[in-house]
Amino acid sequence: METLIVEPKNQKQLTAIKAFLKALDVSFRKENESPYDLEFVAKIERSKEEVKKGKVTRVKKEELRSLLGL
């Protein structure tokens, strides 16, 4: 058959959808919430924290162009 992806907006909707599917005897399963590798997500979150703390290196366009030979 086909797979449907349902995205409830809140817990109330999720509960209602689960009850509805159970009443119709439709099987369902929970998938990982993120399609991304957990290690990758953690790395991105660490990077965001570093930016908040000011641990960044800024490069001006002119410097970048000269580094790239443009």
Q: Report the predicted TM-score, pTM, of the whole model to 2 decimal places.
A: 0.45
Provide the domain count of the chain.
1
Confidence of residue 70 (pLDDT cuts 50, 70, 90): confident
pLDDT computed for residue 32 by the predictor:
67
Is residue 3 one of the residues assigned to a domain?
Answer: no
Q: What is the average per-residue pLDDT within 56-62?
A: 89
Residue listed under structure tokens 């790395």? 43
Cα separation, 28 vs 38, whole angstroms: 23
* Domain ranges, residue 34: 11-68
pLDDT computed for residue 12 by the predictor:
97
Cα separation, 66 vs 61, whole angstroms: 9
Is residue 17 one of the residues assigned to a domain?
Answer: yes
Residue listed under structure tokens 């002119």? 62
Condensed to tens digits (0 to 9), the pLDDT of residues 11-53 reads 999 999 999 999 999 999 887 667 788 899 899 999 999 999 9
